[in-house]
């Protein structure tokens, strides 16, 4: 990026968002693993099998939800990083075009680039 403040694309916000999404995905994966590692048994609840079945079913649903959340956060992270990369590419191309137009010698091109 150049010294021309105002023309530069600032991708760091997108990159930080991507890093935060990665941390969230990791936390969701940890929660999923924990939920899948817990299983209630009938003896723990005095033989109340219907209650135990409901607990285990709920735990499995929550584990699936945490897994989906992890996938979604990974997708969001990828999108954030792609936007940052795309913006940097556009910024570089824009500066190249402005330099090229300014070097063309055309009074109109020079006026446009000076105004930017």
Whether the per-residue pLDDT at 114 is higher than 70: the answer is: no
Q: What is the arithmetic mean of pLDDT over 46-61?
A: 93
63-87 pLDDT per residue, tens: 999 999 999 999 999 999 999 999 9
pTM, rounded to two decimals: 0.69
Average pLDDT over the chain, rounded to whole? 86
Whether the per-residue pLDDT at 4 is higher than 80: the answer is: no
Which tokens in the block code for residue 25?
């995905």
Pick 96 or 104 by higher pLDDT.
Answer: 96
Distance of CA 45 to the CA centre of its chain: 42
CB neighbour list of residue 41: distance below 8 Å, 6 or more residues apart: 52
């Amino acid at each position: 990026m150049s010294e021309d403040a105002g023309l530069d694309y600032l991708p760091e916000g997108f990159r930080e968002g991507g890093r935060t999404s990665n941390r969230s995905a990791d936390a969701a994966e940890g929660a999923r693993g924990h939920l899948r590692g817990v299983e209630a048994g009938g003896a723990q609840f005095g033989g109340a099998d219907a209650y135990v079945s409901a607990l285990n079913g709920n735990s499995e649903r929550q584990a699936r939800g945490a897994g989906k959340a992890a996938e979604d956060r990974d997708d969001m992270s990828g999108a954030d990083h792609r936007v940052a990369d795309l913006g940097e590419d556009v910024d570089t191309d824009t500066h190249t075009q402005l330099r090229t137009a300014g070097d063309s010698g055309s009074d109109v091109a020079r006026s446009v680039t000076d105004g930017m």
